[in-house]
Amino acid sequence: QVQLVESGGGLVQAGGSLRLSCAASGRTFSNYVIGWFRQAPGKEREFVAAISWGGRSTLYADSVKGRFTISRDNAKNTVYLQMNNLKPEDTAVYYCAGDPMPRGWGRSVSVGQYAYWGQGTQVTVSS
């Protein structure tokens, strides 16, 4: 089991940057695929990015590709989401999620694939 806590959200102007962190408890953090999702008011939760167990592989939603970068430091039990060139449509609550995905991470874009979730951090981008 892993517990996840997000931080780093806030208010930023369009074109600005933020770095979100997802800190995990437990000694087996490297056994988990970690994903970032977001949910805007009135919308469904959507995939943003995911990173494989060792961090060698990453996936991104088309809407953030080239602007966001996901990375992890397993020694610090932390995953980061660097968000650059932010747009008003990036405004949402951002959640990190984790799952061992023993059968492979082919469906890591799916909300239903993750067993563990953080509480979320608000990101607001003003125009």
- Residues 60-79 have a mean pLDDT of 97
Residue 83 DSSP class = E
**Looking at residue 104, what is its pLDDT?**
86
Looking from the CA of 28 toward its CB, the CA atoms found within 13 Å total 7
**Whole-number Å distance between alpha carbons of 95 and 87:** 18
The token pair that represents 39 in the structure block:
């949910």
Look at residue 20 and tell me whether its pLDDT is greater than 90: yes
Residue 31 DSSP class = G
Look at residue 10 and tell me whether its pLDDT is greater than 90: yes
Please, what is the average pLDDT of the chain?
Answer: 95
The 10 Å Cβ neighbour count of residue 89 is: 11
Interval 71-90: pLDDT, tens: 999 999 999 999 999 999 99
